[in-house]
Structure 1
Amino acid sequence: MKKKVQFLYDCGEFFYSKNVNKSEYFYREALALTEGTNSLMEGRVLFKLGFVEKNEGNLSTSLRYFNKAKEIFKDKNDIERLASVYFDIGYVYRYKNQMDVEYDFYKKGLKLSEGGSETLIGKGYLHLGNYYTLLKKLDSSIYFYNKALDVFKKINKDNRIYNVYNNISNTYYKQGRYNKVISIRSLVLKYAKKENNKLLITVNYHNIAAAYRQLKDYKKVKKYLDSAILVAEEENFKLRLSKSYNSISKISYSLKDYKEAFLQQQKYKIFSDSIFKSQLSNTIEEVELKNKHKVEKKNLEILNQEQAFDKKLYLSIILVFLLLGIPLVILLYRNSINKNKIIQSNLEKEKIKKEVLLQKFKRSEIEIKSLVADNSMRLEFLKQLLLKLKVERKSIDSVDVKNYIKDLTFKIQQQITTEIKLSLLKNKIDVINDGFDNMLIANYKELTKTEREVCALLRLNLSVKEIASIRNTSSDAVKATRYRIRKKMNARKDQKLEVFIQNLKI
C-alpha cells in the first residue's frame, strides 16, 4: 500500500508543471488511499492539492486542504513542512484580500524557518517582498526580494531565482519601468518554456502584455494575451482566463472595437461567475461541515449521558437489592430527572439543526445579493457602451459604419431590456415563492429539483412558451415535465395544473 501511494504521489509531482489535470488525478488517487490515516504522506498529498485548487481559483477549498495538512505536520512535528504550509496559507489570504492574516502567517513561517532550510528562508523573504509590493512600499519590497535572490543564488536554485525575477518585475511595473519589465519577464518566460511550467508561462504572457499596453503597443498586447489564453484554456486555469479576457475587453474598448469589447466582457463574466460560485459553494460547504461537527459532538454528549444514566440505573437496582430499604420512589425520581435531561439534549440538537438551516438561508441570500449586484454592474457597462456608440455615430461620416453602429446599438438595447426583465422576474419569483419550495419538498418528495422549479413558474401563471424561454429549453420538454408533475401530485384531470398549484397552501 505504501509503495502504491508513493508511486501515485511521484506521478503527481512529475505532471505538476506539465499537465495539471493529470497531476490532480494522481494526487486524488493517493488521497483516497491515505485519507483519515493522519500520516505524513496524507499531509503531503493534501498540501499539493491545496496548490492545485489555488491555481484553479478555488481559494476556500485550497485553504481547507492547507489547514488539514498544517494540523498533520504539526502533529508529526515536521517543522520544515509546517513552515512551508504557513507561507502558502498566507499567500491564499493575499488573494482573499485579508492582508493582516496574510502577514501573520508569513511571520509564523519565518520564525519556524530560523536555523533551518535556506530554501524555506528564501521563500519567506519572497512572500514578504510580495506583501510589501501590495502595500506599495516598494523600497521594502525590493529589499526582501534581493535577500531572497541572494539565498537562492547561493544554493543554485534556478526555479526560485526566476520566481524572484518574476516578482521583481512586478515592482518595476509599479515604478513605470515597463521596458525593464518586458526584459525580465521575457527571460522568465524562456525559462518557463524550458521547464514546461504552464502556469508560469501563461502568467508571464499576460504580464508582458500588460507592460506593452502601458507602452501603447496594442498589436503586441493582443499577441501575448492570445498566447496566455491558449495556454490557460489547455490547463483550465479559470482565474488566468478571467484576467486575460477582461484585459482584451479593455483593449478592444480603447481601440473603439465595441463589438469585440462586448464579446470579451461576456467571456470574462462567464469565468468570473464560475470562480465566484465555486468559492461561495465551498464556503457554504465549510459552514455545513462545521455545523455537522457540532451536531455529531452533541450526539456524542447525548450518548455519554445515556450511558451514564444506564450506569446509574444499574447501580440503583443493585443498591435496592443490597439495602432492601431504599424506596422505589427515589429510583423513579432519578429516572425522571435523567429522561428530562435527554429530552433537553434532544431539543438542543434540534436547535443546532435549525441554526444550520438558517445559515444556509443566509448564504443563499448573500449569493442572490451578489448576483443582483453583478447584474447591475453588467447593465451599467452596457448602458455606458450604448451611450458611447450613440456619441461616436454622430461624429462618423461613413453611412456603412453608421448603419453598423445603429445595428449594434439596437442589439445592445435589446440585451439591456432582456436583463431588466429577467431581474424583475427574478425578484417577483423570490417574493411570491418564499417558502414554496420547502413546502413541495415536505409534501411531494418524489418531485425532482427541475420539476419543483417548473412548479414555481406555474405558480406565477406563466405559459409553456414563457417557461421554455426562461429555462432555455423546448416547449415539448416543458409539457413533458408538466405531465410528470400532474401525475406525481395526483392533480385531477378536470382541473388546470396552474390552478391546482396556486391553491396549495405554504
Structure 2
Amino acid sequence: MRVKYAINLGILTDTSNPLYAEQQLKNALSILDDSYTHSDQSKQKALAYDCLGIIERRRNNYDKALHYYLTALEIKEKAKDSSKIGRSYHNIAMLFRSQGKYDKAISYMKKALVMRRNDSLDYGVSLSNYGHFLYLKKAHDSALIVLDSAKNYFTAPLYLSDVNRYKAKIYRDKKMYKKALELHKKNLVIYKKEEKIERLASTMKDLAYSARKMNQFDKASRYLDSSEVLAAQYGNKSLLGHLYLERYKIQRDQKNYKKALFYYRTYKKYRDSSKTLEQSARFEKLVLEFRFKQESYRDSLQASTEKIELQRVAKTQRSQKRLFAILFFLAVIALVSLFFLYRYKRKIALRNHQKQELETELLNEKVNFLRFKTERLLMDNKMRIDFKKELLDTIKDLQTKDSSSGVIERYQTILVQLKNQITTEKRLDSVSEVNNMSEANFEIELAERFPTLTKSEREICHLMYLNLSLKEIMNVRNATLSSIKSARYRIRKKLDVPKGEELELFIRKLL
C-alpha cells in the first residue's frame, strides 16, 4: 500500500510539484528494492521508472529521461508484458520527437504500434502520433493516410480533436486553408463541449492564421480577440505573445506599418518575458523582417517622414509611460499611507472611546451605589425622627403628670438630648433632595480634579460640602471622632488647603 500510494502521489504531482513527485517515486523504488516481495513488484518498478522519465523529459534532461525509459523497458521485457512494452516504446518515441530526432522517433513508434495492436485506444494514440511524426518529416500525404486510419480507433471526442489538429497543420502547410478552417471549427465544437479553455484559445489562434492567409483580415482579427480573452483567463503569456505576433502580420500584410510596429513591440515584451530560445529566434526573425520593410522605404520621402514620426511618438510614449508609472507608484504609496494612518487614528479613537465608556460606566455604578446608600441612610434617619417625636410627646405627657423634681430634671435632660438629635437628623433629611441632585456631579468632578482622594475621603468631602458638623458626620459614617479628624487632615493635605482657611469653606468655593 505504501508503494502504491507513493507512486500515485508521484503521478498526481509530476506537473504541479515535480520535486515532490520525484521524491515519492524514489521512495517507492527504495521500498521495492529493499523489502518488497509482492507479485506485482516488477510492474510497480517499471511504472515508477516511466514516471521519472516523464519528469526528466519535461526538464529537458533527455539523457536521464532515456535512461529511466530504458530501465523500465528492460523490466517489462523480463516480465514479457507486451502492452507495457509498447508503452515504453511510445515514451521513447516521444522523447526523440522532443529532441527533433524524427527518424528515431518514427522507428520506436513503429515498434510501439506492433506491441499495442491488442488495445484499440492505445493503438489509436500511437497511430495518431505516428502521423504527426510523418508531418514533421514533411511526408504530408503519408501522414494524412495514417491520421485518417487513426480516427477509426477513437470514440472519445478529445482524441478525435488531436487527429483534426494534426491534419489541419498539414492542410495549412499545403496552403489548403479552407480545409484547415473546417477542421479547426470542428475542434471548437469539441473543446466547448468539453470545456477545454486552453485548447479553445489555441484553436482560435490557428483559425486566425488560416483566415489571414485567405486575406480574411477582419475575421482573423475577431478570432484573435476571442483567443486573447480566453488566454487571459488562465494567464498563458506565451499564447498572448503569439497572438500579438499574428496581429503584427495582419497589419503588415495590410501595409498598416504604424499599427504593425505597435503589435510588434507588444509581442517583443511577451517574448522577452518568456525567455525561451525558440521565441528568441522568432523575435529576431521579426526584427529582421521589420527592418527590411523600413529600409525598403528609406528612399521615399513619405516613408522617411513616417519613420521620424514613429520615432517621435515612440519616444513620447516612453516618456509618458515612465511619468505615469512614477505618478501611479507615488499615488499608490500615498493611498496606502493614508489608509494606514486612517486605520491607526480610528483605532486610537475607538480605544479612547471604549476606555471612556468603561470609566463612565464604572463611575456611574459607584455613584448609583453611593446614592442608594445615602437614600437608605436618610430613610432610616426619617424613621428615627418619627420615633423620637413620638417619644418626645410621651415624655412631655409624663412631665405634666409627675411633679417630682428629680424626675423632672431627668426628663428635661432627655428632652434636650432628643431635641438636639432631632435637629441634626432634620438637617440630614433637609439635604436629601439637594444630595440626590448634586451627588453624582460632585463625585465625578471631585474624582477628576483630585484623583488621589479615596472613595471614603470623597464621601466625607461631600458631607462637609452639605455643611454637616463633625458629630453629624460621625453619626452618618458610624465612625469615631479621631478617625474623622484623621480623614480631615489627609483631605487638607491632598487638596492643598492654605493654612488658616476652613476646610468646609474651601470645598464649597472649590466646587
Normalising by structure 2, we get a TM-score of: 0.48
Give the number of the structure whose alpha-carbon radius of gyration is greater. 2
